[in-house]
Homo-oligomer: A and B are copies of this chain.
Amino acid sequence: MSIQSFMPPQRTLMGPGPSDVSPRVLSALARPTIGHLDPTFIGMMDEVKSLLQYAFQTKNTYTMAISAPGSAGMEACFVNLLTPDDTVVVCKNGVFGARMIENVQRIGAKVVVVDGTWGRAVDPQALEDTLKQTPQARFVAFVHAETSTGALSDAKTLCEIARQYNCLTIVDAVTSLAGVELKVDEWGIDAIYSGSQKCLSCVPGISPVSFSDQAAQVIKNRKTAVQSWFLDQSLVMEYWSGQGKRSYHHTAPVNSLYALHESLIVLQNEGLENSWARHRNLHNKLALGLANLGLDFIVPEQERLPQLNAVNIPQGVDDVKVRQILLNDYNLEIGAGLGQFAGTAWRIGLMGYAARNENVVLCLAALKEALTK
């Protein structure tokens, strides 16, 4: 056995994530590793926390980064808040809503599903109807930006409804954070998780999370241990919190947190509203170009995510062949369909550092060529 160093090709990443990582973030990633209890590192973690509070638009004390991908962030929210006695209303309109249901079931809690349409936003009326019939519900969970379909749900309205029925909210913001408007405090979101590898354009592997004071109280008042030791936030917070001595829980992914810190500085410098506008503007250009190519969107215009463009693959076009051409001849990655849309849709990401004019132009031109090959 003699395996050589791996030299990846230079791709343009316009799939559902990971998105392109800027040279600036890669450079931060490669800075010398220091100890996870080094005072210098602890200082940087405090900055990550402040920067995440900005990105989430929250003052939540319990704001930090889980040392694992977004699906672990999802699990962290569910296992810390829920006990088997709880009832949770989960809005499902794609793969990630379905994954939420899996999480609830593995805790042994009761799940009531608001079964939505793939490719559509969650229907607020359907949520309200379900809550009326589910007085025992304590939580409402939904996906803000469904990465599997490209649908954007109205998180503000869904949270209002949940509050009217005395439910706390658990929100998947993996693909939404930094790509579309998201205001955790103003909208009253209680638990939210995201991913590093979408509109933050950091390397994959980290999940920013935030818990409202009320959610933190639920965790604090638990009478049974969280079923995951690794994701037990009452333990993790002793390491992340700014109060007194930091106690060791697990070894933080030091370098990945350098990268997250840098990607959040890039966001801070651009400004959140500017980042949202950039995603929207480039989406408009991409959407126009895709229409010119005869490709139609799965999601109705008012419910579309600018950062995740799901289009139907035209009849007679070979899904795999086109994506292979794009990858091999243009070093361009777009996403395959997922779940119900496997084989029938493409998902074109415009996330973070990948959301640049040159990428939109490249993608449209390359797609045009590939479709006629």
Min CB–CB distance A101 → chain B (angstroms): 10
CA distance in complex: A21, B11 (Å): 26
**A75 interface hit (Cβ, 8 Å):** yes
Min CB–CB distance A270 → chain B (angstroms): 13
CA distance in complex: A41, B1 (Å): 19
Given A2-B268, A30-B30, A33-B204: A228 touches B228 (CB 8 Å cut-off): yes
Please name all residues of chain B whose beta carbon is closer than 8 Å to the beta carbon of A256 when the two chains form the complex. Answer: 203, 205, 253, 255-256
Min CB–CB distance A228 → chain B (angstroms): 6
Q: How many copies does the complex hold?
A: 2
Indicate if the CB atoms of B29 and A21 lie closer than 8 Å: no
The A321-341 residues at the B interface (CB cut-off 8 A) are 327, 333, 336, 338
CA distance in complex: A330, B210 (Å): 37
The A231-272 residues at the B interface (CB cut-off 8 A) are 248-256, 258-259, 261-262, 264-265, 268
For this complex, into which size category does the number of interface residues on chain A fall?
Answer: 35 or more
Please name all residues of chain B whose beta carbon is closer than 8 Å to the beta carbon of A60 when the two chains form the complex. Answer: none
Checking B8, B13, B32, B338 against A8 with a beta-carbon cut-off of 8 angstroms, the contacting residue is B32
Indicate if the CB atoms of B6 and A253 lie closer than 8 Å: no
Given A38-B333, A105-B225, A205-B205: A68 touches B262 (CB 8 Å cut-off): no
A-B contact pairs, 27 of them (CB 8 A): A3-B50, A5-B262, A6-B31, A6-B261, A11-B32, A11-B35, A11-B38, A13-B35, A18-B35, A18-B254, A21-B32, A29-B255, A33-B197, A38-B327, A69-B230, A69-B251, A75-B229, A75-B230, A105-B225, A106-B225, A107-B227, A203-B254, A203-B256, A204-B254, A205-B251, A255-B256, A256-B256
Q: Which residues of A does B touch, CB under 8 Å?
A: 1-11, 13, 15, 17-18, 20-21, 26-41, 44, 47, 50-51, 54, 67-72, 74-75, 99, 102-103, 105-107, 195, 197, 203-205, 225-230, 248-256, 258-259, 261-262, 264-265, 268, 327, 333, 336, 338
Besides A38-B327, A203-B255, A248-B338, 13 other A-B contacts (C-beta < 8 A):
A4-B265, A6-B47, A8-B44, A10-B32, A11-B35, A26-B32, A29-B29, A29-B30, A68-B69, A72-B72, A107-B227, A205-B252, A253-B253
